[in-house]
Structure 1
Amino acid sequence: MNRIFLGAAAAALAATPAFAHHPLGGLPMTSFADGLLSGVGHPVLGFDHLAFVIAMGIAATFAPARLLTPLAYVAAMLLGTLAVSAGLALPLAEIAIVASILVLGGVVLAGRTLGVGTAIALFAGFGLFHGAGFAGSILGQEGGVGAAVMVGYLIGLAAVQYAIALVAGWAARRLLGASESMAVNARLAGAAVFGVGLFLALEVVEGPLVAAIAG
Structure 2
Amino acid sequence: MRASERAYVTLRADIINWHLTPGTVLGEVELSERLGVSRTPIREALAKLTAEGLTEPQSGRGMVVSEISLDHLDELFELRSALECRAAELAAQRCDPEIFLALHHQLTNAGELITAQDPARTDYYQLAGELDIAVDAAVGNHYLTQALKNLRVHLVRVRRLGKDNPTRLRDAAREHAAIALAIAHGKPAVASAATTVHLDNSLRHLLSTTH
TM-score (norm 2): 0.31
Higher relative contact order (CA 8 A, sep 6+): 1
